[in-house]
Each structure stands twice: as C-alpha cells, then as structure tokens.
Structure 1
Amino acid sequence: MGVKVLMCLLLVKGVTYSRLVNGCHTSYSAAYKGKVTNCQKQNLTQVPLDLPKDIVGLDLQDNLLTSLPNNSFITLPKLRFLFLSHNPLTELQREAFRGLDKLETLEMACDTLSLDVTTYPDGLFQHLVHLQKLFLISSINGDAQFPTQIVEGLSNLEELHINSWPEGGHWPQLQKVKDTLTFLDIDTVGVPILRNTTFEALHDIPINIFWVNGLLSSIETGTLCPFTNLSKLRMSTSYGSSIKLVSITRALQCLAGRRMEEIILSRVVTTGESSVILTEEMFSYLADICVKKVDLSRNKITQVDANAITNSTFFRCIEYLDLSKNMFNGGMIKPVVISMHFMENLKYLDASQVHRMSSSLRQTYATKRQEGLYLSIPPNLSYLNLSGAANANHVRIAVTLTHSDHLSVLDFSRNGLIDIPAYLECCKNLKLLDISHMKIQQNVFNNTNMVTNLETLLVHDVTSDDDMFVSPTEPFFHVMTELKRLDLSGNNLQLINKNTFSNFQELENLSLARNRLNDLSEEILTMVWLKHLDVTSNSLSVISTYQQTLLDDIVVNNGFFYLYMAGNIFSCSCGTLHFIQWLQETDVTLDDHGNYSCILGDGTLSDTATFYAKRTFEWRTCVGHFWLSVAIIGTLITLLSLLVAFLVKKYLPKIEHQLLQVLGYNPGRRPKREDFDYDAYICYESSQYDWPCHCLFKELPQVSPGIRLYLPDLHDPVGCSQAEVTIDALSRSWKIVIVLTENFLKDEWIHFTVLSTVRLMSVNNAISDRVLLLYRDMSSAARARVPHLLLNVVSEEHILDVEDSPQFWTHLCQLILPLAKTTSSSSGYL
C-alpha cells in the first residue's frame, strides 16, 4: 500500500523516476520528450517482451540479437527512436518493424548484415511512414544485388546514412523520397572510384548536405553535377586512399554559379601525394563558386602559388578559411597574407600548427618606424590564428596589420621568442590574445594599443630569461581595464609579485594551474570581481583560516565563487582539521566536490572526504594527544613543585640568606668569635634551670677558661620586652646551645626562641654549625616531636646526648670554640 501511495505522489508532482526491468533501465528523457529504455550490453538474444508500452526510445545496442522476427516491436506503438547497432544480426523478417508507424530514427550499424536484397526483403520498412533518419551500415557483398527497395514506404525520409551505393548509380526508387531527402551520408563506398554516373539518381532530389567518407582512389569530372541544390559538401578519406586534391577541385567545377555554405576537404590527401601545392589551376575550377566556409586542413600542403589567390567570386565570398595542420614552407605565407585584401568578407583565418614553416613570419626590422612589413588585412577579419606558424628561435613581429579594427581574436602561440614593438598601431579592438608556449620578454605588453580592450589574455606555458612575475623592474602587465580572463598556468611560478594584478579591475577568471605555488596571496583573494580561480596541480597543502574567510566573503559579495584545486596534495592532520571541515561546509563551489588527495600524519595517502567522514575520531585522537601532553607536563610541574617546596622547607634559612644577599644584604666578610659579646647562648626550659645554671655554667669555664656564656636567668635585664631581649641576646652570641628536655616545646618562650634561632641563621648563615642540640633525659617519643624546622639547620654531629663524663664537656667546648685550647680534665659533674 505504501509503495502505491509513493508512486501516486511521484506522478502527481511530476517527479522524474526510473525503473529496472530485465536489466533495462527506463527513465524520462527531456531530449526525447518521453520515457527511454536503455538495454545496452545486457547480452539479450531477443527483444524483451515486458518493456513499458509508453516508451518513445529504445536502445538495444551491443547485445546478442541475431534476428528480428515479425512483430518484434508490436507492443511499442509510441516508439520514435530505435537503436540496434553492434548486434550480430543476420536475419530481418519482412514484418519485423510492424507497428512502428511513429518511428522517426532507426540506426542499424551491424557488420553481420549484408546490404543485399536477401538480407533486406522488399517492404521491410513499409510501416515506417514517419521515419526521418535511417542509418544502414552493413557489410558489402559485391556479388549480391543492392536492395533498392529499402526506401519503399519511407515517405518522410530526410537523412540517409549508408555505406554502399548501387553499381552504375541506377536507383529509381529514390524518386519516392525526392520531396523529403535532403541529407546523404556515404560512409564507405563499394568501389573506390566515384564516376560521373554514380549519383545520377539524385538529379531531381534536392540534396542540401552531402558527406563522402571512405577509401577513394579517383573522382571523375561531373560526379557532383546531379547535386543541383547542394549547400554543404564534406569529403574525407580513409588511410590508404590515393585520390589527389586536384581531381577533387576539378570535380567541384560542376558547382559553378552556386552559393554554398561550406566545402570541407579536411584530410582528403593521405597516401596519394607526399606533398601538395595549391596551384592557380586548382582554384580556377572554384572561381565561380560562392562559398562561406572552406576547410583545407590536414592535406600536406607545402606551398601556395603566387597567382593562386585571385580576385574571384570564390575568394570574395569566403568568410571562414582553415589552412591549419599542413606542411607550409617559407614560400607559403606571403601569397596568402599579401592577397588577403581580395577576401573582403573573410572573418576567420586559421593557419596554425604547420609543420615546416621556419621562415614564414621571420622578418628583420630596424628601430625606425618606416621599416618592416605592412599588411592590409580584410576589413572584416575578426579571428586570426597563427599558432605555431613559425619555428624560428627568435621571431620579431615587424608586421603592421592595417585595417584591423574588426580583429578581436589573435592567436600567436607556439612561435618562439615574441617581441612586439611598442609603436605598432593595430588591433585596437582586440578581445583575445594568445601568446602561450612562447619565450617572452619584459616589454611584451608595451604596445598598449593591443591590450587596452583585451577581455581574454592567455600567457600559459611561457619561458623567459628573468622571473618577471616575481620581481619585475617595471609592471609586467599594463592597465587592462576590460580584462576578464587571465591564464598564467604552467609557468613554474613559486611566488607572484604583490602588484602583478593591481591593474586588473574587472578580472573574473584567473588560472594559475600547473605552477609551484604553496600559498594563495591575499591580493588574489581580495580581487572584487573574481569568480573563478584555478590553482590545480600546485604545491598547496592547506588553506589558512584567514584565507577561508576571504573566500567565503567573495561568495557573500558576488553570490558565487568557483575554486579549482585538484592535483594538489593537501595535509590531513590535527592542524588542518579546520580546513578539511571547511572544504565540506563552505559555500564556495569546489571541483571534485571538495574531495582532494591528502597525506595523513603517518605519511600514507588518503583523501579529504574520507578524513572528514572520520573527523570525530580524528578530533578525539588530536585532543587526546593534546591532553596527554598537558597531563604529562602538569604532572612534571607538580612533581617539580613538590620538590621545590621540599627543598625550600629544608633549606629555608640558606635560601633566605641568598635572597637577602640578592636584595643587598652583604656582611662583607665572614663573622668571627671576636665580633660577638658571648660565645654561647644557653636556651633551656625555665622550669628546668637547675642543670644549665648549676652544672653547664660551671663546667664549661673549667674546660675552657674565659668562655662567655649567656644564661637568660642570669643575664636578661629586668623591665624590658622579653622578645626584644631574646632576639638581641641571640644576635650577640657566637653559638646557640639548646638544651632539650621532655617538655621543652610546651614553653611558649622556648618555642619563640627556637623560631628566632632559625631565622637568625638566614642572616648569619656564614657561621658554620651555629646551633648545638643537647638531649637531656628525653624519651624516643619526645625526640620525635623535635621540630624539623630546627633539625634542618643542625648537622648530625652537633646533636649530643648529655653524659656525665669529662669527654662530653671537652667535646662540647670544642664544638662551641673549635679553635680554643681546653684542659684535659673537668672539676665538676652533674
């Protein structure tokens, strides 16, 4: 039910749809104004019976059909186009095409069909009353009778394409199509000689277009006389034909007095002649024919006689003359260009890509204006193609083209070194100039007369002695206010001078393809009128975010912009994710739908569309790498911070001392004992004064007479601030002896004294081992409570356990006064 509803909606809305039956694809075709079924290359051995009945076109080419039985297409009454070429057909039954009374085009190019009365029975096409185009390309059976009855019933036939003709030219049945047949194309002729009787059956038939293609050896005079209404003649030959150009022009004499649209004689000379000279005799046969277009390209023409081009009807009528791809030598160009004034209606002249013309346009000139070759070209000439017309290494144009106001296209590419004198006054209305594949100089555009009105300038694949586009001594391009298209492709450019495009105010199409650019300059991306930019096959790896913005701005301002970048190998990595996403989401119209080759981070080749499809994974990978780096760096910083904090805590006094020195405090010299009032400050818990006062204070002077000790209970002045007194006493003492007992840290003043001692170490850090610790009757638990702040400034050998022995007092005196001489015994004990 759902499928039926969908089909109804499609039919109501007029949406084009297609379906597949037996491998045949049916779809609507605007060209054929109806449904067309394509059954090409489906290995069909018979015409399918289940084809849609309303189709107007059926393509059965390249299948395996061997026969067409009667009524093969009876179910297709609306069929107008039928293609049966390239099938191994051998049998055509008389009623095979019955029911196709609306058929307009029938193509049967099958080598297996023999063009004779047996294969094509009488009345085969009698039902095709509306047939207009018939293509019968079959094998040739010289001994069989030509099927002259094939035109029976074809009352509307307009075009006949066939590869044979009845011997002797007798074909009376053609009279039945004399009112409609206008186009005759003979692809291959049964015999290589066209006689004056070959086409006698066409006397009363108004053939307008006649094409002859095939292996020809001769054409007789009078062969073309039956074509009384001929307007277009096209003749070409297969390789191996021995026909000569003069015999063809002689046969054209029958067309004298006619007004024709075109005579195409391209590549009629193959093996019959090694070279051709256009003589006065050849053109004398054409003198009274008025033809607009003449094509003599690819005919091995090497020379034109001086008297060949005359003021005849033939040359006065020509509007289009093609002499390209011949073999002209140096004697050719002058008869043509000098006599061009005879061709008063000539608009198009192509003398390009000749093979031997080394001196055709070589003309030496001096710096004087009056010297050189002045040529008067036809006043209506608008297209002049001299591409490859000179193979000399240095071609200097000293040719002034007078009466050249109508010249709009000049192609002078592939002509060696070009040097256009600035004084030449010609081509003021030139619209297109092509000087590609040339060796050019800096002053090539000094002739402003030629470039003022240019709209298209092609300067691709050029060479020069200097890198003119990068750092010219003067602007390479002069002001070209009308230029809309500029092609600089294939010039090996790596950089472009900043002011190269400053004189272009209307440029819409710029090609920089096939260079070595690795960046898009801002000057290009800010050109107001630019609509097409071609940078294919360069060295671009990425387009920056700023450049993306400029490109998007162009779309906003102009409504559209086309950018072509195929052939560049871009980078697909974490750093170019923004660029890859821009390719898929921008409003800029990109070639290849924005899918370009790119190199991944591991060096493998991929494409931008694939990378974009995996952008979430790639983004996570890129972000993962970033945050992994951040985590590692953060961890290292944390560990370093902890290490610094530990070192600062441990060596804070030394650090403070260094800091004070940096800030300007400098004692100048190391302190000495004589600089202090006391040799040792005795710090102790006030409740435990007995041992310091009655033992330590008595024993040390006996070991070292004259030692100066400071005991707070004896020396602290009365009525003064305790803190100031303590700090002053510590500062005036050479060493500080701290007596640690079980409850030492419970005394607040003792805690203050300890902190002050540590701080004083920062000032007098030059005094080595200033603090001594005496453990007296301390348990292990109490020792564990000794502040690390204090232990950090006391070395291990300056921490002593109090003992009742002479050695202890001697050792203590030596630690206080290492240079003092002590007695060997002590007179007091604890």
Structure 2
Amino acid sequence: MIYLSIVMNLCLLYMVSCSSIDTKEKCTIKVDPKSKRTKADCRNKNLTSVPLDLPADINVLDLAGNLFTFIGNSDFKRFVVLSEINLNNNEIMALDTHAFYLPLLTKLQLSNNHLNVSDSYSENVFHSSSKLRELDIKRNMRYASYSENPLDYNLPGSSLINLEVLVIDLVCFPKFNSSFQKMSNLQTLIFDDCFICYLSNETFMNFPQNVKELQMRSCQYFFVVEIDALKYFPLLCILDISNTPISLSQALQMVYPLQNTNMDLINFHHVSVENSQIYPYDVILTPKLMEYIRTICIKTLDISENSICSIRNKSLILFQHPQCFEQLILSANRFGLGYFISYFVSFVYRMTNLTLFDNSYVPLEYKNPQFLHDSQTLDLRVKDSRISEGNFEKPSFTFHIPKNLKYVRVSHVMARNYVQIIDISNTTLATLDFSYYNTDMFPLFICDGFNNLTYLDISGIESTKTFGQFPILKHLKILKMAHSQLYKLIPQNVTIFNWTTYLTSLDVSHNYLWYVGEKSFEGLNLLTSLNVSNNMFQTIPRVIMSFAHLTELDLSFNLLSMLEDDLTVWINVQNKHFGHFKLYLQGNAFICTCETANFLIWIFDTKANLDMDKNYTCRLPGGGNNFTKNVTEDYHNYFAACNAAIWIKLGVSLLTSICFCIVCITLVYNFRWRILFYFHRKFLIIVEKGLEVNFKYDVYVSYSDDGASFIKNIFQPTIEHRWGLRMCCEDRDFDVGASNLDVRARSIHKSRHIIFVITPSFITREWNRFEIERAKYEKFTKDLQKIVVIAHKTSIQNTPTELSTIWNDVCVIEWPEEGGELFTVWQKLRLWLF
C-alpha cells in the first residue's frame, strides 16, 4: 500500500507538471513596464475552465474567445489582486452566486455570451466587487430582443454603487427596476444592441440623475420617442443616437428636457427614417423644429446624412450660443446656402471657437445646366446658371477663414459657388479638403500674412482651374491632386508646384500622365512620398531620381515593362541611406525576357520594401503569363542561353524566314489574293470566338481637320459601302456631351484596327499624342490587331516620333495622288484590314 501511494503521488505530480507545461504554452504572461501590472493572455485557446497554474498575482486576465459555459464561485477566488477580466465571445449561460468574489475588480467584460438580464445575475454575484467601475454585458439578449412583452432588467444595483460605465443591451420593451437608482456613480450609459420600439417618458425613470453620457447608436428598427424621455438625465453632456431610425424631427424634439444646458456632443448622424408615412424622408428645417436645440450651448453638433432638403427662415443659424461651437458637421444633406449665404457666413464668424467645419457631399445642382427653350426646333443651348430665368445673380464675395478654424472639408460638392475669394491670412487652418469641388468657379485663395496649412486635397478638380489659385504655402506638407487632368498642364512645360516647394507627400495618381516635362515637378526638393499610380508611364520620368529625400514611391498600375538599371541602383542607394524605401509595382505590364533578366533578379535581391511580396505577373516571350517568383526560381531554364546563342538564333531565324517566304510566295503567287482573304477571315473568326472578343468597330480613324474630306469622300465609300467594314469617325460617332478623353479611349479599345491619316496639320492636332499612346497600349495588350499609317499630301518623314517605339508593328502607306498605284494601295490596305 505504501508503494502504491508513492506511485500514485508521483503520477499525480507528473500530471500536474504536464498540465503546467501545457498551460504555459497556451497562456502568455507579460508585465507592463509602465504600470508594472501582470497580464495573462489566454485568448482563443479553446479553454473551458480557468487554468490552474496561472500566477496568483496577475492583475489582468484575458479569456476572450474560449468555450466557457459557466463561471463558478472558486474560478477566480485565488487571484486576490485581479482588477480586470475579459470573458467576451464565450458561451457563458449562467453565473454562480459569488462568481466574482474579487475585492479589487474594476473592469469586467462579458459581451457576446448568453446571459439574460432578467435572471442571470444573482443579488450577490458582485457582492464583493465594490470597486467595479466598468461593466460590459452587451450582445447577450439577441434572442429576447424581439419579444413583445416587457422584460425586467434585474441587475444587483446595491453591489454596483461605484459603477461608472455600463454597456448593456436594449430590448424592444425594457423595464428597468429600482435597483438601477442605487448606481449613484453611473456616468456613462451605452446601449449597444438596440432593438427598442417605444421610448416613453418613464423608460429611464429608475436611472440615477448623474448620467453624463448616453449612447443609443445603430438601433435596428424605427421607434417612437416621447418628448420628455430624457428628463431623468439633467446633467447629460453627450447624446449619441447616430444611425438610429427615429427621424431628425423626433431627434430635435428629444432634446426638449435639455434646453438651456451645456452639451459636449449631440450626434444626430443619419437618424432619418425611410419609407415612413409619419415622418417624411425629406426634412425641411424650420424655426419650430429648432426651437429646443437652439437654446443649448453645444460644442460638437453632427446632423449629417439626414436628407435635409431645405432651410426655412434661416433656421439653421438661429442658435443662441454660436460661441460654444467647436465642431459643426452638416455633410451629405441636400440643402443650399445660396439664398442666405451672407447670413450663414456671419454666423460662422460668430462661432469664434469653431475648429472643425464639414459640409461635403452636396449634390444640389449642376454647374452648367442645359435648358430646352424651343420644343419645335429642339434648340439646346447652355445657359449660365447664375443668370438663368427666374433667378437673380447674387454677387460673389470674399470669405475670411476664422482664425481658430483648423479643419475644413467641403468635398464632393456639385452646386453654385458664391465665394470668389477665400482669405486664409493669419489663421490656424491646418487641413483643407476641397476634393471633387464641381462648381461653376473655383475660388481664389489669398494670404497677406502667415498661414498654417499643412494638408490640402484638391483631387477631382481640373488642374487648369486650380493652377495659380493658391498663394505661397510654406507649411504645406501633403498635397493630393488625383483625378485632376494634369496631362493638360504638362505640355505647357510650366512649374506646376512652384507655390508649395516644401511638400513631403504628393499624390498625382489617375491623371493620364505618360511623360513629365522638365519643369513640371521642379522645386520639390523635400519630397519623401510620391504617388504616380494609375497613369500611363512606360518609362520612369528621370525627374524622380532628383528627389533626394524620397523614401516611398507608388508606381502601381502603369504600363511599365521593367525598371531601368539606373533607377534600381538609385532605389538601393536611397534604401541604404535612409534605412528604408517603399516601392509599389502592382498592376504593371512586366515582361520576363532576356532584356529584363537583370530587373527580375533585382526584385528579389533588393532590400527595399516591395508590395505583393515581390511576386508580380509578367508576360513570357512565347506568350502566356507567369509570376516573377516562379521565373527567378527557374532562372537557368529561362535565361541560360540569352547571351551565348542570341546571334546564332538571330541568324538561323533570319535564314529560315527568308527561305520560308520564298517558298510561300512561289506557291501562292497566282492565287495570292483569294487565298489570303479567305484564310485570314476564317482565322480571325476562330480567334475572336475563342477569345470572346466583341469589337464594336472594325477601324478607328484618327485624322485632323484637313483630312476630313478625304475620309468622307474617299475612305467611307470604299471601306464601309464596298468592303462592309464599320468605321469609327470622330465627327460622326462620338457622343455629344461625353468626355473627349473617355470616348476616345473606349472607341479605340472597341476597334479591331486603327488608321492614322497623316496630313500637314496632323502634327499640331490636340489629340494625336493621346490616341497614339492609347493605340500603343491596346497593341501591347493584344486587343488591337493592326496600326496603319497613311501619309496623305505629306511625306512619310512627317510621321509623329511617338510611333518610333513600335515602328516594326506599324503598316505604312504613302497615298498616291492618282494613277495605277491606287489599285495596288487599295489591295494592300484591304489585305491588312481583312
């Protein structure tokens, strides 16, 4: 028996030891160097009970994401200094009578379990937790949230007298008992899962009056609020009912008990009710609706996204305490300020402590509407929106930015603009967002003193409108000009950013840039981050390597086939000098050939930080795609013979081609046209069906004004009427009113071939460079089959130099004036197009 007892003790000791080792592998014990508190991290370990070998002196225990179903009296008893417990995202359905017998517990999290507020919390469950300050029991009542019967909330308030923050669910018909009155220190009340149907004047009658913050965000269903529902919270400073469907009209009536008080925040963001017969979706602000809120001294007011379509009698600016405002958010509504713009500006000047103003996403009206004045003649004329019939022209004026305003966002606006000049002199304005400001005129910014502007976003506005509209901004660090049509300024060879030479971050993405002028980016000597993604660069502009401090470069989604050696060397130098360099190359047209072998090796050898885990798609010489990682891993098979056999392969290929051509010409000479037309047409049909190609046009024709008669009188009768091909001509097929840039790009993309008719004035034509670059891009992607150049009344030497890079892929014709050569030219053109 003695030996048996010894063996059992040894086995028990071994099991405890194994359990201890296993627990240490599961839970991580850390000591915060600042607070000196010990934390045990046991999250997501599939635990069903508290580990037995955890240190008894831990202060924080995180058991979130496990499989607990029950908390017993002895589970935490030995952790005498435990102050925080996280039991979120478990399966807890019941708590023992003294489950949290912890005298130092200050924070308890039980969210996303199955604990019912009516019967899961016994009178003594928090009996010894007198120091509990924060209790989070949200997302436990989803199964009971839809009940049509009142539900009793039986929390032991006598044990929670020091509770300051309570996060709890709000069911359809809640009934808070008198125990909540004992939570005399409760200051923050948050209803996370909110399913209430009716908020009456008695709903909160048993809550203590010292609550300062009330949140009922993202409630699930439309509910009705009685006007005196908040009368039990006289000290309320924060009211947040954002994304809750109660209608703005009810929300403004809800503050009736808070009249003549001071509020830190009133958040009525998106409280609109759709498809409601009682409260219309469109809201019209009137003095009657604003009579309660206008008396409150508010620091932050958010009434954004509420479908406010009209302001009556200047009701938006009738607040009695404008000096209290620090933040005002009005975005995503549909009201205009035109008729009382001067009164609104005066109101802004009286908000002397305002630091943030946001009035974005305002689709009020188009800047240049078209009116149908004569229905019989269908005379469509563009009429100036400022002097349209029935409207009188309001004078524009200068707006002086208030000196304390730091953040202004007037983004995505499509409306009339009556502010001609904006003065930012001697202000603290740091952030200005004017992106996608689509109005009839862009204001002029002036500064006669100092300014603090560090962030400016003017994306989505045509660069020719904003160029020259800003003064020297010495403190500007971040500038965004995406979707700004910068390609219109580049040919002018002007210094685009001479007004902000202290930039550190510049975004010029989505601008259809294929080259950069010598002066375009001049003076950006302090630039550290540059985004030129989603443009049309085939080679990297040399000016980039002049930015000595650049450590982040975004070249993604361009037309790069590789990076030149001097650029890769420069990137390595920058990375070594600064210790880091971020480079983005996703979405380019890389090629895995002998010419790009050095670049492929550099991708995986460089210490710079590249995106996509350095694994990009590249096109193989024989067709098809692969990934750069696969190609470099099998480098020998891909590139072993690049240098040794290149001349042999060239000679053999040339000799074979010559012999093959001689044999083919000899065999088919007598039947050349009939054979070529037949097989070429059949081949195209088979290929297009296999690739599912669906061309709208057979030929896109690029021509200047002096070639229009040649196209109309000579080309169209033969190509369309005799040959049955569909042509795309600018004068006939372009949609009226559409963007020239987009319609040309789409038309070339939907054409099987493209013909450039070179005439004396073609070189000076506005769109020829863009159409050539787009044709090169479509040819590279193999969507465009033939590029034909026809020199008419000019020499072939006058062909644009932009075609030189793909000259081997271009079919050239010098159009004769008359004679027998015309027949040969037409036959050659027909062969190419068919």
TM-score tier by shorter-chain length is 0.5 to 0.7
Partner of 2:530: 510
* Rounded Cα–Cα distance in structure 2 between residues aligned with 1:569 and 1:371: 52
1:565-591 alpha-carbon deviations (Å, 9 max, x no partner): 333354445544433443344343434
Label 1:358 to 1:123 Cα distance change in 2 as closer, same or farther (>3 A): farther
Structure 2 counterparts to residues 388-407 of structure 1, below 5 A: 388-390=412-414, 399-402=420-423, 405-406=426-427, 407=429
Q: Show structure 2 runs of 5+ residues with no match.
A: 1-19, 370-383, 388-393, 653-834
Alpha-carbon separation, structure 2, partners of 1:22 and 1:560 = 37
Aligned to 1:210: 214
**Which one of 224, 233, 237 corresponds to residue 230 of structure 2?**
224
In the alignment, residue 194 of structure 1 is paired with which amino acid? L
Q: Equivalent residue for 1:248?
A: 251
Among 271, 275, 280, which residue is 2:282 paired with?
275
Alignment of 1:24-103 (within 5 A): 24=26, 26=28, 28=30, 34-40=38-44, 42=46, 57-74=60-77, 76-77=79-80, 79-98=82-101, 100-103=102-105
Q: Once the 2 structures are TM-superposed, how far is the Cα of residue 53 of structure 1 from its aligned partner?
A: 5.6
Q: What is the deviation of 1:295? A: 0.7
Cα distance between partner residues in 1 of 2:581 and 2:339: 47
CA offset digits 1:645-668 (Å, max 9, x no partner): xxxxxxxxxxxxxxxxxxxxxxxx
Classify 1:193/1:558 alpha carbon distance in 2 versus 1 (closer, same or farther; 3 Å): same
In the aligned structure 2, how far is the partner of 1:211 from the partner of 1:423?
41
> Which residue number corresponds to residue 348 of structure 2?
340
Are the aligned partners of 1:220 and 1:251 in contact in 2 as well (CA < 8 Å)? yes
Pick closer, same or farther for the CA change 1:358–1:223 going to 2, 3 Å: farther
Separation of aligned partners in 2, 1:583 and 1:27: 40
Check 1:382–1:552 CA distance in 2 against 1; reply closer, same or farther (3 A cut): same
Q: What is the CA–CA distance in structure 1 between the aligned matches of 2:509 and 2:68, rounded to whole Å?
A: 50
1:119 aligns with 2:120: yes
- Counterparts of residues 745-824 of structure 1 (less than 5 Å): none
Q: 1 CA distance for matches of 2:31 and 2:627?
A: 35
Kindly state the Cα deviation for residue 28 of structure 1 after the two structures are TM-superposed.
3.8
* Residue in 1 that maps onto 2:455: 432
How many Å separate the matches in 2 of 1:103 and 1:209?
A: 23
Matched, 1:413 2:435: yes
- Specify the SS of the correspondent of 1:292: strand
Residues 620 and 80 of structure 1: CA distance in aligned 2, closer, same or farther (over 3 Å): farther
Structure exhibiting the larger radius of gyration computed from Cα positions: 1
Match of 2:109 among 107, 125, 128: 107
Find out whether 1:314 has 2:314 as its counterpart.
no
TM-score by length of 1: 0.63
User: Which amino acid in the other structure matches residue 252 of structure 1?
Assistant: V
Tell me the secondary structure at the aligned position of residue 94 of structure 1: coil
Deviation at 1:297, TM superposition (A): 1.1
In structure 1, the partner of 2:481 is: 459
**CA offsets per residue over residues 372-429 of structure 1, 9 Å max, x none?**
33345534333222212215xxx67752235764244332222336754669678973
Which one of the candidate residues 528, 534, 556 is aligned to 1:536? 556
Q: In the alignment, which residue of structure 2 is the partner of 1:778?
A: none
Secondary structure of 1:548's partner? helix
CA 1:596–1:79 in 2, change beyond 3 Å: closer, same or farther?
Answer: farther
The yes-or-no answer on 1:146 pairing with 2:146 is no
Letter in 2 for 1:301: I
- CA separation of 1:144 and 1:364: change in aligned 2, threshold 3 A: closer
Distance 1:190 1:629, change over 3 A: closer
**Are the counterparts in 1 of residues 152 and 175 from structure 2 also a CA contact under 8 Å?**
no
CA distance in 2, matches of 1:583, 1:92: 58
2:578 & 2:26 partners in 1: Cα distance?
Answer: 44
Correspondence for 1:746? none
Q: How many residues align?
A: 598
Q: Work out whether residues 19 and 27 of structure 1, in 8 Å CA contact, stay in contact via their aligned partners in 2.
A: no
| Partner secondary structure for residue 263 of structure 2 | strand
Query: Does the CA contact (< 8 Å) of 1:169 and 1:201 recur in 2?
Result: no
For the residue of structure 1 that corresponds to 2:121, the secondary structure is coil
Contact between 1:372 and 1:398, CA under 8 Å: does it hold in 2? yes
Match of 2:169 among 153, 156, 163: 163
Q: Distance in 2 between matches of 1:70 and 1:486?
A: 60
- The answer (yes or no) to whether the contact 1:525–1:550 under 8 Å persists in 2 is yes
Distance 2:442 2:583 in 1: 34
Matched, 1:564 2:565: no
> CA offset at residue 183 of structure 1?
1.3
Matched, 1:382 2:383: no
Partner of 1:178: 184
Please give the secondary structure, in 2, of the residue aligned with 1:293.
strand
**Distance (whole Å) between structure 2 residues aligned to residue 64 and residue 310 of structure 1:** 55
8 Å Cα contact 1:421-1:446 kept in structure 2: no
Q: Is the 8 A contact 1:290 1:317 kept in 2?
A: yes
CA distance in 1 between counterparts of 2:149 and 2:443 reads 69
The equivalent of 1:197 in structure 2 is 202
Contact 1:203 1:228 in 2 (8 A): no
Partner residue in 1 for 2:262:
259
1:353 aligns with 2:361: yes
Partner deviation per Cα, 1:326-374 (whole Å, 9 max, x = no partner): 2335768736445323322222111101344446999749xxxx96333
The residue identity in structure 2 corresponding to 1:195 is S
- Counterpart Cα distance in 2 of 1:423 and 1:340: 18
Query: Which residue among 222, 225, 233 is the counterpart of 2:239?
Result: 233
In 2, Cα distance between the equivalents of 1:203 and 1:549?
69
- Of 311, 314, 323, the match for 1:304: 311
- For residue 538 of structure 1, report the CA deviation from its aligned partner: 2.2
* Structure 1 runs not aligned, ≥5 long: 1-17, 636-830
Structure 1 residues 744-799: Cα deviation after superposition (integer angstroms, max 9, x where no partner): xxxxxxxxxxxxxxxxxxxxxxxxxxxxxxxxxxxxxxxxxxxxxxxxxxxxxxxx
SS of corresponding position for 1:384: strand
Per the alignment, residue 566 of structure 2 pairs with 546
Give distance in 2, aligned partners of 1:254 and 1:121: 35
Match of 2:292 in 1: 285
Question: Using a 3 Å threshold, how does the CA distance of structure 1 residues 170 and 557 change in structure 2: closer, same or farther?
Answer: closer
- What letter corresponds to residue 163 of structure 2 in structure 1? L
1: CA distance, partners of 2:368 / 2:359: 11
SS in 2 for 1:551: helix
Q: The residue matched to 2:566 in structure 1 has which SS?
A: helix
How many angstroms apart in 1 are the aligned matches of 2:173 and 2:234?
21
- Aligned 8 A contact 1:68 1:92 in 2: yes
Shift of 1:433: 2.7
More moved, 506-515 vs 315-324: 506-515
Q: Aligned letter for 1:348?
A: L
RMSD: 4.1
- Whether the aligned pair in 2 keeps the contact of 1:493 and 1:515 (CA below 8 Å) is yes
Q: CA deviation at 1:159?
A: 1.1
Letter in 2 for 1:622: F
The residue type equivalent to 2:420 in the other structure is V
Instruction: Write the distance in 2 (CA, Å) between the matches of 1:149 and 1:479.
Output: 64
1:317–1:336 Cα change, 3 Å: same
**Secondary structure at 1:471 match in 2:** helix
Offset, 1:293: 0.9
Task: Measure, in 2, the Cα distance between the counterparts of 1:604 and 1:104.
Answer: 63
